[in-house]
Structure 1
């Protein structure tokens, strides 16, 4: 059972473990899993899950000869094919430049943790890339555009805004008047944080989803109770008031446990599937998410979500049965 307060942090931690796992196992063929878990400071259960992830890691092409391969002898494991991870990395100029750009963008992201590690890695790659690292490149955060600059200007001028906003979780467009507080970048997206007069609460609006806006003559006047959100753990912070759903997830769809905050992840009775419990903004959003996933995801609860998915799937099938003139 695991708890995931931050999907991005959990993904980063697991990436570090898996990258360290391959050279460790290469140096210790036939090591007992319980011994490896103790050396690496993880539980035996976690190590087995990381080994399962390694089965689908490797080189582009992702065929049998491209993926990392292992052999198990009882509770002992040996890496039989490392997919080239043991070889020194040689970057092409384009690859080096792409890494430099990405690391520079990370270093400039507000609130980024481990900035020292990012700057050390950037210095090493810039040194190795030489003159290629100085190539003229325009770097823009996702969602950064003239729209962001104009919204930021409205914040600086202290003007209220009338915005037309698309809410992805409800697949709905609404119009509302907001009193801007600040513009922030979180997870590569630009957000307007403002007091929403319609909701009578502080809200975050992703700038790329603001379809239209008008700067009003009246000044922005957030009330005294308006407080900026704590964004250290990301934008979505699920609380007990949100709907709780449980999914049965097969191997090919386990990525959702890394991408979305989960309250609980445990191995199913078959050993191949996982039971994933997570909170969602609303059941309509969950329905759209699940309908877009593959056949290896099954809804366990709540019953109303199961019914909603069944009805929409039946309606979609019925639409295909109608002849087209």
Structure 2
């Protein structure tokens, strides 16, 4: 399921209990509370109107009376009732909670462990495996707690952040949007005022965070930008390497954030890849030997050639055969 569909599903599941608790609320008020536009809310209501229990006859579907002036749920199809979990479902939920609680910023660890304890207590008499051993609730790092609080308060944050690709620490002010999980790492998704774009900040690389006394104001399009969840989005501010990849090295396109530009008659592939520093990129490319050649930019070609020649000289000085050729 795409991230956009997943967000919409979560919103639809939360809408019925919310609307039941606020009968007659206007579309504008509900949209502001749910963090969407009025147009998106009306689209969600039309979608929700066609949801319900298996059978999907008129008596099984959620029924709503809605306009931009007033929204009311006339039949909830039982969606607001508490879930009755089977032991298998409860065990799966425990596994998920235990996994996510280890990810900084994803949940409040105290609340998550309280939920784990309640679920374990509820299924203690079933076949589910419950250790019964006391669990020490991990102390949330101050930086993580600050970011989560700023997100809840919709406040801007000043971050001191280590960028691994650039190998540098920078300070920037961001407008938090949400916390996301990508490739088993948790990130703050935020509008970076310095870069003027949506960026992902990995929690374990945030060295310091300060909640500012000013509201977060990410552009309206920022939260809906699904491409912003891509760790290697095509940022025009980052240099682009043009590469020629030998046919038998085509696998690197699947292993690295490269995009295909064109295929050549000899079977080789021309591709592009963004990089932060020429030094880092040169080290990466030399690892491919003659399988990947650099076409540009000139400063990267020079960096790769200089490193390759230095390596060949070191081999020669040691009386060893050199296996690396200049690009």
The TM tier, using the shorter chain, reads 0.3 to 0.5
Q: Which has the higher contact order (CA 8 A, sep 6+)?
A: 1
